Amino acid sequence: MLKAEYQTRGPVPQDVIEAISFEKPILADGQVLLEMLAAPINPSDVLTLTGQYGILPPLPAIGGNEGVAKVVEHGPGVVGPDIGQTVLLPMGIGSWATHMVADAKSLVPLPNGVDPIQLSMITINPPTASLMLSEFVDLEPGDWVIQNAANSGVGSYLVALAKLRGLKTVNVVRRESLIEPMLAAGADVVLVDGNLDGLSLSKRVKAATDGADIKLGIDAVGGAATNRLGETLCDGGTIVNYGAMSGEPCTLAPTIIIFKDITVRGFWLAKWFRTATPERQKEVFGNIIGLIATGKLSAPIHATYKVKDIKEAITVAAGGERKGKVVLVKD
């Protein structure tokens, strides 16, 4: 049994974490032993290792905030989930481990016949994309949405969910090599960020959308990229920021704020979990699970690694040339 543990935090995330062996734990009343099937490495996980995320667990800690596992042993008094059942791991359990212990009552059964790699990512990125499309601006089929960091995990889900809802997407990326893969994945428009050939992003967006009014912009980058999104929005538009990949504060020119009346909102899924009713959470996740189970929703996978290769996995996940998610798997 192995766990990816870190006892310190530092600027190079792969340097602070390592795979450590541990003995099979003894189960208490109501507990089950789980075998990890798949657990993704998210940007928030990398920021947790560097100490830059908003919530930091006490040290030492096991990495990983989401994933899926299989029940392999019952403790005293446990009647379910059944042995062999695929389950959704509780948020923050420390999913980067071959095995873990959890209270049986905290586990959500998932369909056994569905790709565990795709199921492993349902806790963070899909609901983030879904809620940002629905909670801030009233959108109708045919409306346009613009997002940067469009090739990210959230960005990929947003493209798919928007298409299922009849929305159109402008997707801003950092390099030309991402254009064709995103178009193949269903993006309507894909543009490289910044000024190209003397044309600003806003002018190129206007040309690509025939001057459509864009009411919603999704920002994961911050810095000057926020301002470029603001320039593309119509009067009264809204920017929803959920990340700062640039490491810089969001910048928005007074002329955009004043004359275009642009609103900037923030989204943090952890806060949504604290305020959403159980019924609302069940509705959101039930919809996502259904879409994944029927093959209508998926995310691109760049590479998979075993827990023993955690340092290499983190190195790749923290790099800038990925074409999808990095996921830890059992096999």
CB neighbours of 111 closer than 8 A, spacing ≥ 6? 86, 119, 289, 293
What values do phi and psi take at 113, rounded to 5? -90, 5
CB neighbours of 283 closer than 8 A, spacing ≥ 6? none
What values do phi and psi take at 228, rounded to 5? -65, -35
Residue 243 is encoded by which pair of tokens? 């990340």
The closest alpha carbon to 62, from 109, 30, 22, belongs to: 22
Residue 88 is encoded by which pair of tokens? 């959704």
Q: How far apart are CA 119 and CA 67, in angstroms?
A: 8
- The burial class, CB within 10 Å (0-12 / 13-18 / 19+), for 114 is middle
The DSSP result for 209-241, as a single string, is TTT--EEEEEESSBTHHHHHHHHHSPTT-EEEE
Catalytic one of 53, 157, 242, 305? 53
Q: How far apart are CA 69 and CA 4, in angstroms?
A: 16
53 noted as active-site residue: yes
The set of catalytic residues is 53
